[in-house]
């Protein structure tokens, strides 16, 4: 598996596809809304305005029809010229309505009907002029005949034409409403399609990220296992090296220094009758040799206590803790709880190293005057605690190499390590490890 492979290209491709889909859908929706707005403005609103003008024309035609009925009424004492002002007023209003209607629908498909309407009105007004001209000359009977046989016929034809135009407008408005509903349905359908496409795209992107994260976590887990194996091997090599050096110091160099000390004692006995300065020098050299021997033994014990292999963890602690207290001046209170049991060699070594590191941290960082070491045997585990009364863990807890080393060793034996505040305000290190060899890893 290649950790360098990045999902950036795939995610950028998904982003481009998403933005393209959003752009295309937005453009399409804007076009649909523009068409809807044009349909509403150019057809629906125009038809409604035209219908109002046609109703205005129809109302004027009805007024003309009523006026002509009154003019034909023989019982009416008024002369026909009395209706001339009313006709002029109605004519002015009709011509204004017709002019507005022609401008509004100059491109309408019903131009033939509107041409017929205009010609019919022209014919009606010519007949009206002839009617009032006859009435003005005193020819009332001929004028009424003109009304009966010409004006009323023209008025009926005009009324019928206007009614047809109103019907046509109603039909156009219904068609426009149908198209509007279709456009709305189309936009709604496209919204659902777009949402479905986005959900599919999001689902695919999520699946891609999930798969990538699974591969990444698998690679991290593999690297973690390899790191653990490498750490175990390094610690094992370190312990073997320390053990070898410790034995070399204890056995070889220790024996050499012991032999030198014996030879110096023998030389001192032989020179007992000689001058005093030689004896003093021999005693001084023998003291140096003895001091060096003690330092080598202390170094050998620090590298790898032989008693840990020969007598176990408890004996190693009994030997190490008094020596640590003597060297550092920090009072150590040691307490063992539970029934002693045999421990796996790896568990013993790593617990001992954790104890050493924890006590070294007490010396270097805690400013403590005393420390408590507790060893407790449980049914299936062993608990080791180191607690001090110092300043506690620093804020960068977990980043020091000592704490990292303790964690590494705890992981190698499947132990749980905790860094807690102590009861007296200091720091508490607690390690809980499995007690049987079957439950622990042999780390060294």
CATH of the domain at 346: 3.30.565.10
| The most confident of 20-34, 36-50, 111-125, 155-169, by mean pLDDT | 155-169
Task: Check if the beta carbon of residue 221 is closer than 8 Å to that of residue 425.
Answer: no
Q: Same domain for 29 and 166?
A: yes
Q: Same domain for 194 and 329?
A: no
Higher pLDDT, 426 or 402: 426
Task: Check if the beta carbon of residue 417 is closer than 8 Å to that of residue 429.
Answer: yes
Q: Same domain for 202 and 332?
A: no
In a domain, 228, yes or no: no
pLDDT (0 to 100) of residue 273: 57
Q: Same domain for 194 and 322?
A: no
Could you report the per-residue pLDDT of 74-118, keeping only the tens digit for each? 676 778 888 889 999 998 998 888 888 777 765 554 567 677 778
In a domain, 291, yes or no: no
Tell me what the mean pLDDT of segment 204-210 comes to.
82
Q: Same domain for 195 and 320?
A: no
What does DSSP say about strands 381-388 and 416-421: parallel, antiparallel, or unpaired? unpaired
Please state, in angstroms and rounded to a whole number, the distance separating the CA atoms of residues 197 and 190.
Answer: 10
pLDDT (0 to 100) of residue 405: 80
In a domain, 235, yes or no: no
pLDDT (0 to 100) of residue 383: 93
Percent of the chain scoring above 70 in pLDDT: 79
Q: Is the pLDDT of residue 2 over 60?
A: no
In a domain, 100, yes or no: yes
Q: Same domain for 316 and 203?
A: no
pLDDT grade for 301, boundaries at 50, 70 and 90: low
Tell me what the mean pLDDT of segment 368-393 comes to.
87
Higher pLDDT, 164 or 444: 164
Per mean pLDDT, which range of 28-42, 192-206, 321-335, 360-374 is the poorest? 28-42
In a domain, 294, yes or no: no
**Structural domain for 389, as ranges:** 305-439
DSSP code of residue 391: S
Tell me what the mean pLDDT of segment 134-149 comes to.
86
In a domain, 422, yes or no: yes
3-state secondary structure 272-341: CCCCHHHHHHHHHHHHHHHHHHHHHHHHHHHHCCHHHHHHCHHHHHHHHHHHHHHHHCCEEEEEEECCCC
pLDDT grade for 396, boundaries at 50, 70 and 90: very low
191: domain CATH number is: 1.20.1420
Q: Is the pLDDT of residue 46 over 60?
A: yes
- pTM here? 0.48
- How many domains are contained in the chain? 2
Q: Could you say which of 159, 186, 209 is where a domain stops?
A: 209
Q: Is the pLDDT of residue 442 over 50?
A: no
Q: Could you say which of 191, 209, 227 is where a domain stops?
A: 209
Higher pLDDT, 1 or 110: 110
pLDDT (0 to 100) of residue 151: 86
pLDDT (0 to 100) of residue 288: 81
Torsion of CA 354, 359, 364, 370, to 10 degrees: 160
Residue 212 burial (C-beta neighbours within 10 Å; 0-12, 13-18, 19+):
middle
Tell me what the mean pLDDT of segment 417-423 comes to.
86
In a domain, 363, yes or no: yes
Q: Same domain for 33 and 157?
A: yes
pLDDT (0 to 100) of residue 11: 67
Tell me what the mean pLDDT of segment 314-343 comes to.
86
pLDDT (0 to 100) of residue 5: 59
Q: Same domain for 34 and 174?
A: yes
| The most confident of 132-146, 262-276, 389-403, by mean pLDDT | 132-146
Q: Same domain for 179 and 56?
A: yes
In a domain, 222, yes or no: no
Q: Could you say which of 183, 209, 235 is where a domain stops?
A: 209
Higher pLDDT, 390 or 86: 86
Helix, strand, coil share of the chain (percent; to 5): 75, 10, 15
Query: What is the overall mean pLDDT for the chain?
Result: 78
Tell me what the mean pLDDT of segment 388-413 comes to.
73
pLDDT (0 to 100) of residue 111: 64
| CA proximity to 18, closest of 202, 210, 208, 211 | 202
Q: Same domain for 52 and 180?
A: yes
Q: Same domain for 340 and 204?
A: no
Tell me what the mean pLDDT of segment 126-131 comes to.
89
Per mean pLDDT, which range of 50-59, 231-240, 287-296, 332-341 is the poorest? 231-240
pLDDT (0 to 100) of residue 441: 44
Q: Is the pLDDT of residue 321 over 50?
A: yes
pLDDT grade for 375, boundaries at 50, 70 and 90: very high
Q: Same domain for 199 and 51?
A: yes
Percent of the chain scoring above 90 in pLDDT: 4
């Amino acid at each position: 598996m290649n950790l360098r492979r990045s999902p950036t290209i795939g995610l950028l491709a998904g982003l481009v596809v998403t933005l393209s889909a959003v752009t295309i859908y937005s453009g399409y929706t804007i076009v649909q809304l523009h068409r809807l707005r044009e349909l509403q403005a150019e057809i629906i609103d125009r038809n409604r305005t035209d219908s109002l003008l046609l109703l205005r024309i129809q109302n004027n035609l009805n007024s003309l029809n009523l006026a002509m009925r009154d003019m034909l009424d023989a019982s009416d004492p008024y002369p026909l010229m009395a209706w001339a002002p009313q006709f002029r007023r109605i004519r002015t209003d009709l011509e204004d309505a017709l002019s507005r209607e022609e401008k509004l629908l100059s491109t309408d498909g019903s131009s033939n009907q509107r041409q017929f309407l205009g010609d019919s009105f022209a014919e009606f007004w010519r007949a009206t002029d002839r009617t009032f001209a006859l009435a003005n000359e005193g020819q009332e009977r001929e004028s009424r005949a003109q009304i009966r046989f010409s004006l009323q016929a023209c008025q009926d034809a005009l009324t019928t034409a206007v009614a047809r135009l109103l019907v046509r407008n109603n039909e156009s408005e219904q068609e426009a409403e149908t198209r509007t509903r279709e456009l709305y349905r189309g936009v709604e359908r496209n919204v659902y399609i777009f949402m479905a496409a986005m959900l599919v795209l999001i689902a695919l992107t999520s699946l891609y990220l999930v798969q990538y994260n699974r591969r990444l976590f698998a690679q991290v887990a593999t690297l973690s296992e390899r790191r653990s194996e490498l750490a175990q091997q390094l610690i094992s090599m370190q312990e073997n090296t320390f053990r070898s050096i410790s034995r070399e110091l204890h056995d070889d160099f220790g024996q050499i220094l012991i032999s030198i000390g014996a030879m110096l004692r023998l030389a001192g006995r032989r020179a007992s009758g000689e001058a005093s300065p030689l004896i003093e020098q021999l005693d001084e050299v023998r003291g140096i040799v003895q001091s060096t021997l003690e330092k080598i033994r202390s170094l050998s014990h620090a590298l790898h206590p032989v008693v840990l292999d020969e007598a176990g963890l408890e004996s190693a602690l009994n030997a190490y803790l008094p020596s640590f207290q003597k060297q550092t001046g920090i009072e150590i209170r040691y307490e063992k709880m539970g029934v002693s049991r045999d421990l796996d060699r790896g568990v013993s070594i790593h617990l001992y190293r954790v104890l050493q590191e924890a006590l070294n941290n007490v010396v270097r960082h805690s400013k403590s005057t005393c420390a408590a070491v507790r060893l407790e045997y449980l049914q299936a585990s062993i608990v080791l605690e180191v607690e001090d009364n110092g300043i506690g863990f620093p804020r960068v807890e977990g980043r020091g190499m000592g704490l990292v080393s303790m964690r590494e060793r705890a992981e190698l034996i499947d132990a749980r390590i905790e860094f807690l505040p102590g009861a007296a305000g200091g720091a508490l290190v607690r390690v809980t490890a499995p007690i049987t060899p079957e439950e622990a890893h042999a780390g060294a």
